[in-house]
Amino acid sequence: MAQPAVSFHPLFKIHTIILFIVLNLAAIVFIIRRHLAKKYEFDYKIQQLQEKVNVLSEQITREGRVKSAQEARKNRYQSLKKLIEGINKEFDQVGAADKLINAAFSLIAENRGACLLYLVDKQSQRLSLFKVKKENRGMVIKAKEGDIFDSWVLRHTAPLFVEDVSKDYRFDTGRAKEYEKRQVGSLISAPLVTDQGLIGVMRLEQTEANFYSQDDLRFLSTICDLGAVALESSELYKRIEDLATHDSLTTFTTRGYFLEALKEEVKRGLRLKGAFSLMMVDIDYFKKYNDRFGHSAGDEVLKILSRILKENLAKLHPMISRYGGEEFSVILLGINKQEAVRAAVELCVKVEKEKIVLRRQETGITISIGVAAFPEDAQDAEGLIKKSDDAMYRAKERGRNRVCSA
């Protein structure tokens, strides 16, 4: 027998549909919330990773900067080795100063701004501008004795670091008239010090502020330490050289130096067809001054004659040497025999008029001079000396206090 068909109430159907929709909405909401939660979780992980990437990137950049700085520092100090080798071979003060200022200007300032080297004048104890290296060749350094910044280094004997000249409270920038004209924005400066004390100051300056670092100042100080030793050594070498080539009493060059110089002038004269004259000057009766007044009086006479020779022949730019005890040789480049004889006569007159007081007694001296000319009288050094020497002895034979020529 057939089963009767099941019939649902219309409301039941509606409730069923609503329930189905609600369940589906709930499922959708659940899925969406789950998806959002995973998205948030994923975004958070991305953010964390990004932060780690940023940290690593900053670390890499910082390490890169450190590495670059270390590489630059390494290159700088490797350059010091070349600098040391260079200045150790340099016995001239100017040459040593050039190497020092070039190193500071290129290695620290990157060939920008200006580098100034001041040396201390021993007599006045003031700074004196010795060398300048500058980017702008038209720049004029008017402060030849330095300004308030250089004076600070001189006074404190310590390095100076000025990041911004306009903001540094230590200095009255209104007083620094010279630096304003040069538009200094920042500078570093270090003293050159030896066992004898401060001998100079080296300074680097830029037009813009905050150009230099503390490491730049440390490196400049190192260069200045080397520079102080090099400049002191060159000065000592010059002093030794002067002692070897100059007579300590008269300050004129020695006989050996004169002979070498005369040979060189003869070679130059033969090559360039030039002319010059030679004087041989001797003090008349010099022995009697030593016998009568003592050797110290004789030394005083030599000093007085040396002064007269310098003063009266200065316009002729002479090369004067102490040839023997009381004998002097004078090379006059570009001066012919006639001009040389005229100058010699004037010299004799000047010496004769000079009043000398020895042991409270007024006295005087006279000189005899022989003159010879190149190439007129001789074309070699030995011949020229003999001709002028012979002329001088003729002057003595004819009564002294006179001039004779070859």
Q: Could you tell me what percent of the chain has a pLDDT over 90? A: 43
Mean pLDDT of the region 285-299: 82
State yes or no: pLDDT of 45 exceeds 80: no
Distances (CA, A) of 262 to 107, 115, 189, 215, 380: 45, 41, 46, 53, 9
State yes or no: pLDDT of 48 exceeds 80: no
pLDDT tens by residue, 110-146: 899 999 999 998 888 889 999 999 888 777 787 788 8
Alpha carbons 89 and 299: distance in angstroms, whole number: 39
Say whether 10 sits in a helix, a strand or coil: helix
Alpha carbons 66 and 77: distance in angstroms, whole number: 16
State yes or no: pLDDT of 285 exceeds 70: yes
Mean pLDDT of the region 310-314: 93
Q: Which residue has the tokens 């005087």?
A: 364
CA 362 to chain centre: 50
CATH 3.40.47.40 fits 255-405, yes or no: no
- Of residues 31 and 308, more confidently modeled: 308
Alpha carbons 309 and 350: distance in angstroms, whole number: 10
Type of residue at 265? E
pLDDT tens by residue, 329-348: 999 999 999 999 999 999 99
Architecture of domain 93-243: 2-Layer Sandwich (3.30)
For residue 85, give every residue at least 6 positions away whose Cβ sits within 8 Å of its Cβ, in sequence order, or none. none
Q: What is the 3 state secondary structure string of 267-331?
A: HHHHHHCCCEEEEEEEECCHHHHHHHHCHHHHHHHHHHHHHHHHHHHHHHCCEEEECCCCEEEEE
Q: Is 318 left (phi over 0), alpha (psi -120 to 50) or beta?
A: beta
Mean pLDDT of the region 339-367: 90
pLDDT value at residue 3? 53
- Of residues 107 and 201, more confidently modeled: 201
Burial (CB count <10 Å: 0-12, 13-18, 19+), residue 16 = exposed
- Of residues 44 and 318, more confidently modeled: 318
Q: Apex CA 16: angle with CA 14 and CA 21, to 5°?
A: 95
pLDDT value at residue 288? 82
pLDDT value at residue 333? 93
pLDDT value at residue 64? 56
CA 132 to chain centre: 7
Mean pLDDT of the region 168-183: 66
- Of residues 42 and 377, more confidently modeled: 377
Structural contact between residues 115 and 139, judged by C-beta atoms closer than 8 angstroms: no
pLDDT value at residue 382? 94
pLDDT value at residue 42? 67
Least confident of 21-25, 320-324, 379-383: 21-25
pLDDT value at residue 129? 92
Least confident of 52-56, 215-219, 285-289, 372-376: 52-56
Spell out the domain ranges in the chain: 93-243, 255-405
CA 12 to chain centre: 108
Mean pLDDT score across all residues of the chain: 84
pLDDT value at residue 307? 93
- Of residues 137 and 71, more confidently modeled: 137
Burial (CB count <10 Å: 0-12, 13-18, 19+), residue 308 = middle
pLDDT value at residue 364? 86
